[in-house]
Structure 1
Amino acid sequence: MAAATHAAAGRVSGASTSELGAAPRPAPPAIQRVRRRRRPSGEAPPLPRHLATSGKLWLALSGVVLAVWAVVFVTDSIAYVDVADTRILQAVAEVRSDPLTQVAEVAGGLATSGAIHVIWLVNLVVLVLVRRWRHLFVWLVTGLVVVNLTAVAAAMLQRPRPFEVEIIGRWSGFSMPSLPVTVLATFLVSTLYALVPAGRPREIGKWVVCALLAATAASRLYLAQDHPTDVVTSVVLGVAVPLAAFRLLTPNEVYPVRYRRGRPAHLDVTGARGAAIVRALQDQLGVVATKVAPFALSGSGGSTPLRITVRAHPSAAAEESCVFGKLYAATHVHSDRWYKLGRTLLYGRLEDEKPYHSVRRLVQYEDYVLRVLWDAGLPVPHPMGIVEITPEREYLLVAEFVQDAVEIGDAEIDDAIIDQGLSVVRRLWEIGMAHRDIKPANLLVRDGTLFLIDPAFAEVRPSPWRQAVDLANMMLVLALRTDAARVYARARKQFSDEEIAEAFAATRGLTMPSQLRRMIRAQGRDLHGEFLALLPYQLPPVPIQRWTLRRVGLSLITVAGLALAVAVGVDLVGSPL
Structure 2
Amino acid sequence: MAALPHAPPETGPLRRPGLPPIRRVHRRRRPSGEPPPLPRHLNASGRWWLGLSAGVFLAWVLVVVTDSLALVDAVDTSVLRAFAELRSPVLTDVAEVTGVLAGGRAIHVLWLANLAVLVVFRRWHHLFVWVGVGLLVVNAGVLLTRTLQRPRPYGVEVLGDWSGYSMPSLPVTVLAAFLVSTVYALVPAGRPRTIGKAVVAGLLTLTALSRLYLAQDHPTDVLAGVVLGVALPLAAFRLLTPNDVHPVRYRRGSPAHLDVSGARGAAIVRALQDQLGLLATDVAPFGLAGSGGSTPLRIAVKSDAGPRDGADGPGADGDSYVFGKLYAATHVRSDRWFKLGRTLLYGRMEDEKPFHSVRRLVQYEDYVLRVFTDAGLPVPQPLGIVEITPEREYLLVAEFLRGAQEIGDAEIDDGVIDQGLAVVRRMWDIGAAHRDIKPANVMVRGGTLYLIDSAFAELRPSPWRQAVDLANMMLVLALRTDAERVLARARLRFSDEELAEAFAATRGLTMPSQLRRCLRADARDLHGDFLRLLPYRLPPVRIQRWSWRRAGLSLVALLGLLLAAVVLVDLLGSPL
Q: TM-score, normalising length from structure 1?
A: 0.97
CA distance in 1, matches of 2:12, 2:102: 74
CA distance in 2, matches of 1:522, 1:286: 45
2:170 to 171, 179, 190: 179
CA distance in 1, matches of 2:285, 2:422: 31
Letter in 2 for 1:456: A
Q: Which residue of 2 aligns with 1:32?
A: 23
Instruction: Tell whether 2:454 aligns with 1:458.
Output: no
Tell me the SS of whatever aligns to 2:320: strand
Letter in 1 for 2:242: P
CA distance in 2, matches of 1:558, 1:129: 22
Q: Contact 1:22–1:424 (CA<8 Å) still a contact in 2? A: no
After superposition, where does 1:552-571 map in structure 2 within 5 Å?
Answer: 552-571=551-570
Tell me the SS of whatever aligns to 2:99: helix
Q: Which runs of 5+ in 1 are unaligned?
A: none
Letter in 2 for 1:236: V
Tell me the SS of whatever aligns to 1:8: coil
* Cα offset, 1:8, TM superposition: 3.2
Q: Which residue of 2 aligns with 1:8?
A: 4
Q: Deviations over 1:132-160 (max 9, x none)?
A: 12211111121112112211211221111
Letter in 1 for 2:157: E
* Cα offset, 1:20, TM superposition: 4.1
* Cα offset, 1:200, TM superposition: 1.1
Instruction: Tell whether 2:173 aligns with 1:190.
Output: no
Q: Which residue of 2 aligns with 1:64?
A: 55
CA distance in 2, matches of 1:291, 1:20: 38
Tell me the SS of whatever aligns to 1:336: helix
Letter in 2 for 1:384: L
Letter in 2 for 1:284: Q
2:80 to 86, 89, 111: 89
CA distance in 2, matches of 1:6, 1:119: 68
After superposition, where does 1:368-517 map in structure 2 within 5 Å?
Answer: 368-517=367-516
CA distance in 2, matches of 1:85, 1:55: 28
* Cα offset, 1:7, TM superposition: 3.3
Q: Deviations over 1:526-575 (max 9, x none)?
A: 11111111111111111110011111111111111111111111111111
CA distance in 1, matches of 2:202, 2:568: 28
After superposition, where does 1:313-352 map in structure 2 within 5 Å?
Answer: 313-314=304-305, 319-352=318-351
Tell me the SS of whatever aligns to 2:321: strand
Q: Contact 2:25–2:273 (CA<8 Å) still a contact in 1? A: yes
Q: Which residue of 2 aligns with 1:272?
A: 263
CA distance in 2, matches of 1:40, 1:184: 45
Q: Which residue of 2 aligns with 1:287?
A: 278
Q: Contact 1:312–1:320 (CA<8 Å) still a contact in 2? A: yes
Q: Deviations over 1:241-295 (max 9, x none)?
A: 1111111111111121111100000010000000000000000000000110000
Question: Please, which moves more after superposition, 128-137 or 269-278?
Answer: 128-137
Q: Which residue of 2 aligns with 1:76?
A: 67
Q: Which residue of 1 aligns with 2:540?
A: 541
Letter in 2 for 1:493: L
Q: Deviations over 1:295-345 (max 9, x none)?
A: 010000000000111111146856111110000001111111111111111
Q: Contact 2:275–2:386 (CA<8 Å) still a contact in 1? A: yes
Q: Which runs of 5+ in 2 are unaligned?
A: 309-316
After superposition, where does 1:130-279 map in structure 2 within 5 Å?
Answer: 130-279=121-270
Q: Which residue of 1 aligns with 2:43?
A: 52
Q: Contact 2:4–2:491 (CA<8 Å) still a contact in 1? A: no
Letter in 2 for 1:278: V
CA distance in 2, matches of 1:509, 1:149: 48
Tell me the SS of whatever aligns to 2:402: coil
Q: Contact 1:294–1:307 (CA<8 Å) still a contact in 2? A: yes
Q: Which residue of 2 aligns with 1:298?
A: 289
Q: Deviations over 1:504-541 (max 9, x none)?
A: 11111111111111111111211111111111111111
* Cα offset, 1:389, TM superposition: 0.3
Q: Contact 2:14–2:419 (CA<8 Å) still a contact in 1? A: yes
Letter in 2 for 1:474: M
Name the % identity: 73
Q: Contact 2:344–2:553 (CA<8 Å) still a contact in 1? A: yes
Q: Which residue of 2 aligns with 1:576?
A: 575
Q: Contact 2:383–2:399 (CA<8 Å) still a contact in 1? A: yes
CA distance in 2, matches of 1:193, 1:160: 34
Q: Deviations over 1:55-109 (max 9, x none)?
A: 1000000000000001101221000000011111111111111111111111111
Q: Contact 1:422–1:475 (CA<8 Å) still a contact in 2? A: yes
Q: Which residue of 1 aligns with 2:102?
A: 111
After superposition, where does 1:119-134 map in structure 2 within 5 Å?
Answer: 119-134=110-125
CA distance in 1, matches of 2:488, 2:134: 64
Tell me the SS of whatever aligns to 1:7: coil
CA distance in 2, matches of 1:281, 1:483: 44
Q: Contact 1:21–1:420 (CA<8 Å) still a contact in 2? A: no
Letter in 1 for 2:391: E
* Cα offset, 1:23, TM superposition: 3.0
* Cα offset, 1:125, TM superposition: 1.2
CA distance in 2, matches of 1:504, 1:272: 48
Q: Deviations over 1:473-516 (max 9, x none)?
A: 11111111111111111111111111111111111111111111
CA distance in 1, matches of 2:4, 2:437: 27
Q: Contact 2:11–2:415 (CA<8 Å) still a contact in 1? A: no
Letter in 2 for 1:59: L
Tell me the SS of whatever aligns to 1:343: helix
Q: Contact 1:294–1:304 (CA<8 Å) still a contact in 2? A: yes
Count of aligned pairs between the two proteins: 568
CA distance in 1, matches of 2:388, 2:370: 21
Q: Which residue of 1 aligns with 2:311?
A: none
Tell me the SS of whatever aligns to 1:6: coil
Letter in 2 for 1:135: H
Question: Please, which moves more after superposition, 521-530 or 450-459?
Answer: 521-530
Q: Which residue of 1 aligns with 2:530?
A: 531
CA distance in 1, matches of 2:27, 2:4: 54
Tell me the SS of whatever aligns to 1:409: coil
CA distance in 1, matches of 2:132, 2:403: 49
Q: Contact 1:89–1:227 (CA<8 Å) still a contact in 2? A: yes
Q: Contact 1:23–1:420 (CA<8 Å) still a contact in 2? A: yes
Q: Contact 1:154–1:176 (CA<8 Å) still a contact in 2? A: yes
Tell me the SS of whatever aligns to 2:234: helix
* Cα offset, 1:130, TM superposition: 1.4
CA distance in 1, matches of 2:469, 2:300: 33
CA distance in 2, matches of 1:288, 1:223: 65
Question: Over aligned residues, Cα RMSD in angstroms?
Answer: 1.3
Q: Which residue of 1 aligns with 2:313?
A: none
Tell me the SS of whatever aligns to 1:395: strand
Letter in 2 for 1:274: G
Question: Please, which moves more after superposition, 320-329 or 164-173?
Answer: 164-173
Tell me the SS of whatever aligns to 2:4: helix
C-alpha change, 1:539 and 1:212, in structure 2 (3 Å) is same
Q: TM-score, normalising length from structure 2?
A: 0.97
Letter in 2 for 1:82: D
